[in-house]
Amino acid sequence: MKREKNLFYYSSSPLMQPLYNGIHTRYIIQNRLFKVKTTKKLVSILLLIMTVSPVITMAAEIIIKVTDENEPVPMTEIILIDAKNSLITNNGFTNKLGIYRYSVKPGLYKVIVTKEEFSDVTIRDIKIKNSNINKTVELIPRAFDTDKEASSDDDCD
């Protein structure tokens, strides 16, 4: 009994040491071990909940394939916007295969697809429920920019 008291006595705080004397030492050691085990279990459960909760809230995936004449267009910027509050949920780029994917919560979204030398494409009212959404976007090259005026260096009459 003295050995248990000494082990616990040296590991406890100085303020608590006077409480651990006589017969109560064994009870306090057992109680403290119980509290440590309970705390470890509680921390494990909280970590599990925090790990699983994003999986529960992210119920679906939006997959967008960007092409030009049926060829993939890599490095196309995709902007994903929450239609309810008009906030950007995510923006990223397509991979080598022209594919962009992102996990989203169920809701209503808008997607803007933009690439230099191509016209921007906007897809409105994409409803996400609990299943994946696949969209294919065919980009159209910009023939010319109508905002620029003809320069005086042109040979046209």
Q: What is the pLDDT of residues 2-20, one digit of tens each?
A: 444 444 444 455 555 444 4
Q: Do residues 107 and 36 lie in contact, with contact meaning Cβ atoms separated by under 8 Å?
A: no
Q: What is the pLDDT of residues 34-45, one digit of tens each?
A: 565 666 676 777
Task: Report the 10 Å Cβ neighbour count for 60.
Answer: 17
Q: Is the pLDDT of residue 106 over 70?
A: yes
The correct CATH number of 59-138 out of 3.10.180.10, 2.60.40.10, 3.40.50.970, 1.10.3470.10 is: 2.60.40.10
**Which amino acid is it at 81?**
I
Q: Is the pLDDT of residue 69 over 60?
A: yes
Entry pTM: 0.56
Angle between helices 2-11 and 24-57 (to 10 degrees): 50
3-class state of residue 67 by DSSP: strand
Q: Would you give the DSSP letter of residue 17?
A: G
Domain boundaries, the chain: 2-55, 59-138
Q: What is the mean pLDDT of residues 28-34?
A: 56
Q: What pLDDT score does 54 carry?
A: 54
| Between residues 54 and 100, the one the model is more confident about | 100
For residue 124, give every residue at least 6 positions away whose Cβ sits within 8 Å of its Cβ, in sequence order, or none. Answer: 83, 110
